[in-house]
Structure 1
Amino acid sequence: MIKVILRFTNLVVLTLLVLSFFSFLLAYLFPGDALANLSGINHGSQQQLESLGQFYHLNNNILVQYWFYLGELFNGNWGVSFSSGLPLATEIARTLPASIELSTYALIISLLIGLPLGFIAGIRHHKLADYALLSVSVLGYSIPVFWLAMLMILGFSLQLGWFPLSGRLSLLYEVPKISGFILLDILWSDLENKSEVFTDAFRHMILPTLSIAAFTTTVILRITRRSVIETMNSDYIQAALARGLTARQILFRHGIKNAIMPILPLLAMQFTTLLTNAMIVEVIFSWPGIGNWLIQAIYQRDYPAIRVGMLAVSTLVVIFTMTIDLLIRLVDPKKSKVERVAI
């Protein structure tokens, strides 16, 4: 167990070092002055620029510069934004939780819908229910996320008027930031009209969450269906049938556990796909997440924001993916032994 933890720790550290080095190189690859791309200060006085040059050690070789750049990353000094003039660490802390919130709720919906439907399709293999669910999953898998989001806006917001068109909360309300997850912040706050504010935030969240969850639900359905079919056709399931156990008993005693365990890593990895899709949907729904913020930074040629935003998203994906994979290997020792070479 200790060896596995050390291997994953080394892999995470090395991956993050490579990501941070590429983030550092972007300051030189982007148009403009490297010092401005690092610090975010585009029009400073001569004395200020000289001070910043000494601060970032621009007179030294690139490895020395990277070493001090790495130290500033750990200290939270990520520079400032060209457009807003605010520290980038503050901007990331403001926008990233909104994207994580959207992805988390979408993953919960995908699991609650995809897993049961996958079991139904797997148990009813080559029957009408299986064909119907497969057809729906192919349709959902084929529709682009951005197109589905625009269809939802057209149908449920503009035509029916059931849900808000964009945003995270109506301008009439103001919620104090505690965790960055707006629903939790509302519940933890001391607002007098808490239920009204919660309902408004929930209505704003429905369409973007469903737009993101649609694709992942179809993926989870198909993964679960394949795992259930393989499990129910295995030798120990056939032996249980030969002993006289009913199909219901086999499913609840052996089928569910053995079908879910192989797909847990694949289900956990869907969070990264959800985060990517969330960054696309945020632009369409004007959701104040890091995806929308990065798109605005690209439009405004805010190179420090692009550099730090890409690094923040990449770091989150790497840490989450490696952590989930490590936990699964620790929980399932057989998987750790069989796939040790893949670490």
Structure 2
Amino acid sequence: MIRFIAQRLLATLPVLLLVLAIVFALSRAIPGDPATTLLGPGATRQQIEALRAQLHLDGPAPIQFLSYVTGVLQGDLGRSLKTGAPVLNEVLLRLPATLELAIAATFVAILVGIPVGVLTAVRANTVLDHVVRVVSLAGVSMPAFLLAVVLQLVFGIWLGWLPISGRASPMFYDEPVTGFAVLDQALAGDIEAVGDALRHLALPTAVLAAFLAATLARFVRNSMLEALQEDYIRTARSKGLPERAVVFVHALRNALLPAVTILGLKFAELLGGAILTETVFAWPGIGRWMFEAIRNRDYPVIQGATLVFAALFMLVSLGVDLLHGVLDPRVRRRL
């Protein structure tokens, strides 16, 4: 097991280097110049050239890339061209907000997607099955930003039930301890503040969970249908086991194995795919920060955030493989 983990971690190094090279090249392909953006349209050519030299943007691209990789190997992701703050510190400051949103969305998707998938598999080709398939298809197909705007309009403006932006109301703001707003307020023992944090979390969580729950429900349904046709299911039924035990003990346990892979990969995608959702809801996570960096041509922030997303994706993928080994003895023996 330890050898397997070490091999996987070593295999991520060339992948991360390739990601760095691609992002470095693509960020330089963004139209516009960071120095011109920072100084504004009234800046002279001499001022722009001086700022480019100050920001180390006047050298050849290969030299800039080599310098950046050297810094990364030393734990330095560079400094923001706009604020001058270390990128690593900014990542650590905003990462908990993105993780909180992704974890909440995954939790809601599991609570909704797995039971719906099991129910539609048990009642396959019924009216309920057809309705759920149409709804899940709509959930997969609807753009996240459109669903976000609709939820803001309905629950935030028309009904006034939920806030449409931010992580907490100004009256409940406090210095972060863990960076997770709900957990921090719970540790402080402020029930009213916990409720406020949950209300702010509700709408962005619903947007991200909608796609994941729809995908999970369809995948669990298909896996359950295959599992229910296996010989061991017929054997369990022939022994006189209750249908509930056949479905939830025997079929679901095996149907969840492939679903774990999908869930893990989708969770990793949520971390990087929450850019639009965080922007629409003014959620102070890495996604919104990266969107602003792209708009400002802030190369170090774009590169640092993308590198963090890539590393998290690979770590989640490794975790999924290890979880498979825990759930499936055959995989555990191979590991």
TM over 0.5: yes
Contact residue 297 and residue 305 of structure 1 kept, 8 A: yes
Contact kept, 8 Å, 1:168 with 1:201, in 2: the verdict is: yes
Matches within 5 A, 1:111-260: 111-189=110-188, 194-260=190-256
1:228-252 Cα distance to aligned partner (Å, 9 max, x none):
1111111111122223333223224
Equivalent in the alignment of 2:10: 10
1:254 shift after superposition: 1.2
1:70, CA displacement in angstroms? 3.4
- Mark the CA change 1:331 to 1:65 in structure 2 (over 3 Å): closer, same or farther: farther
Q: CA RMSD in A?
A: 3.3
State the alpha-carbon separation in 2 of the partners of residues 66 and 274 from structure 1. Answer: 28
Deviations along 1:178-205, one digit per CA (max 9) or x if unpaired, are 221111111223x7xx222222111111
SS in 1 for 2:216: helix
CA contact (8 A) 1:167 1:285 kept: yes
> In structure 2, do the counterparts of structure 1 residues 333 and 25 end up closer, same or farther at CA, with 3 Å as the change threshold?
farther
The change in CA–CA distance for 1:140 and 1:66 in structure 2 (over 3 A counts) is closer
SS of the residue 1:136 aligns to: helix
Identity level (%): 33
Q: Which amino acid aligns with 2:245?
A: Q
State TM-score, norm by structure 1. 0.83
Aligned AA (1:239)? T
Amino acid at match of 1:265: T
Query: Contact conserved, 1:82 with 1:304, CA < 8 A, in 2?
Result: yes
Report the CA distance between 1:77 and its aligned residue.
2.4
Whole-angstrom distance in 1 between the partners of 2:245 and 2:315 = 39
CA distance in 1 between counterparts of 2:293 and 2:154 reads: 30
Following the alignment from structure 2 to structure 1, what is the Cα–Cα distance between the partners of residues 227 and 327?
20
Task: Tell me the alpha carbon deviations over residues 26-67 of structure 1, each in whole angstroms, 9 at most, x when there is no partner.
Answer: 676566599xxxxxxxx8998x969x97xx9x79x95x8766
1:127-148 alpha-carbon deviations (Å, 9 max, x no partner): 2222222122122222211111
Question: Which secondary structure does the structure 1 equivalent of 2:172 belong to?
Answer: coil
Aligned residues, how many?
A: 325
* Larger CA deviation: 302-311 vs 218-227: 302-311
Q: Is the 8 A contact 2:34 2:296 kept in 1?
A: no
Contact 1:19 1:311 in 2 (8 A): yes
- Extract unaligned runs of 5+ from structure 2: 36-46
CA shift in 2, pair 1:10/1:49, >3 Å = same
User: What secondary structure sits across from 2:79 in the alignment?
Assistant: coil
TM-score normalised by the chain length of structure 2: 0.84
Q: Secondary structure at the match of 2:125?
A: coil
| Inter-CA distance 2–319: structure 2 relative to 1 (3 Å threshold) | closer
C-alpha contact (below 8 Å) 2:27/2:302 kept by paired residues: no
Match status 1:272 vs 2:260: no
- Residue identity matched to 2:100: E
